[in-house]
Amino acid sequence: MRNFSRRGLIGLGVGAAASVGLAGCGTLTSSDGSNQGAGSDGDGGNKPGTHTNRARPIGDGSTSYTGKQPNQPAKPEPLEPGQEPPQFVVFSWDGAGEVGNGLFPRFLDLAKQHEAHMTFFLSGLYLLPESKKRLYEPPNNPRGASDIGYLTDGHIKETIKNVRQAWLDGHEIGTHFNGHFCAGTGTVGNWTPKQWRSEIEQAKSFVKEWRTNSGWTDLPSLPFDYDKELVGGRTPCLLGQDNLLPTARELGWRYDASSPGGRQVWPTKKQGLWDLPLQQIPFPGRSFEVLSMDYNMLANQSINSTKAPSHNYPGWREQSAQAYIQGFKRAYETNRAPFFIGNHFEQWNGGIYMDAVEEALKHIAREKEKGADIRLVSFRQFVDWMDVQKPDILDKLRTLEVGQQPVGGWKTFLKGSSASSSGSSASSSGTSATS
């Protein structure tokens, strides 16, 4: 597994003692466990095989038209004056490759148990056999280069199966692009809009042409049109957003999840796209906050080491789980800002971060089961909701700071239709994001 250097860390202006890590990804490596793929031809909501039977191949048959995506939430409705906003929570996954450790199907099963939807930011190279790596021409890097390596053929097949099942279960398939270059002259942080377009076109082609590139005929096609499915992504190490956005807008994308150092407030658009960043959340026992991603927990706990002494694991696992839970609680009990969480299918430090995110999801699901309007959704489903809201309602929601409750409750705060009076109707009731 790739080592992460200290340059993978950034400070976010939260005090001299802060050490908040920039999101990073490591090479997915094989485990000794047996491969586990979803492998089902069912769509989770209709009769098994329904989508397969009515599929119309696209191109070489790597993808196909299968109709409307199953297992989607009800059509979003605009908030009425005085209506309390839902608490949205988005769990997302960078890379989304299955390498025999069972993590992809583990979280598909967990999501199904709790009626949750997620976003999987698929790395295009995870569908390209290493024998064909010279098909990849990364900007400012040698042909075939990749800082996350390539998967084995067997793991590519498992990834295809799990990506297929994810979409049928109602999850979103976004992109994490390809080679994951975070440092040196080839870093994505230096890419131009034109180079981002090349990277995106290649990422899409590896998904849309895995059958041609592999020669495999024993797997069913992916049940979606990736040109239509792909409406957002997250860049490697949260770098390069400024030059990505013009290209993403031209391609008709609806959001980007690449901003570093976001805060738990209601989002705005940047260059025409919804800007949905990882967020600073409480880090129990520390005087600074941490970005809402497993890698950033690791970066602050074990200084980028992915195999620290195991006696640390129980405490770090609980600290990470409580960071997510406290981040959720702060939003849910105050401004109801959407909560964004990012992770990787990895086993860093004994797999404690996977256990932590599972604990957090279960905690949130229990709150939902009590009758609270909590919605575990994908990024695409979240922006579906945002796009039907009245602009003045969103403007009012944006006046609420981190940990800030509306005076008089939601009925009073959102009762009027004018955003001009909202500034005097909210007061702070929690800690700021830069404590």
Decide: residue 432, CB within 10 A, 0-12 exposed, 13-18 middle, 19+ buried. middle
Dihedral, 168, 169, 172, 173 alpha carbons, nearest 10: -50
Q: Which amino acid is at 402?
A: V
- Using one digit for the tens of pLDDT, what is the confidence trace for 361-415? 999 999 999 999 999 999 999 999 999 999 999 999 999 999 999 999 999 999 8
What is the mean pLDDT of the segment spanning 222-247?
Answer: 98
pLDDT band at 24 (very low <50, low <70, confident <90, very high): low
- Using one digit for the tens of pLDDT, what is the confidence trace for 116-165? 999 999 999 999 999 999 999 999 999 999 999 999 999 999 999 999 99
- Using one digit for the tens of pLDDT, what is the confidence trace for 85-94? 999 999 999 9
What is the mean pLDDT of the segment spanning 258-274?
Answer: 95
pLDDT band at 25 (very low <50, low <70, confident <90, very high): low
- Tokens 């990834």, residue located: 159
Prediction pTM value: 0.87
List strand residue ranges (DSSP E) for 237-346, in order: 255-256, 269-270, 273-275, 280-282, 289-291, 339-344
The Cα 195–Cα 244 span in angstroms is 9
List strand residue ranges (DSSP E) for 201-351, in order: 255-256, 269-270, 273-275, 280-282, 289-291, 339-344
The Cα 291–Cα 401 span in angstroms is 17
CA proximity to 434, closest of 8, 87, 90, 16: 16
- What domains are defined for the chain? 74-428 (3.20.20.370)
pLDDT band at 53 (very low <50, low <70, confident <90, very high): low
Residue 29: the pLDDT is: 36
Please say if the pLDDT value at position 246 is more than 50.
yes
Copy the structure tokens of residue 328. 């959720």
The Cα 293–Cα 344 span in angstroms is 9
pLDDT band at 435 (very low <50, low <70, confident <90, very high): very low
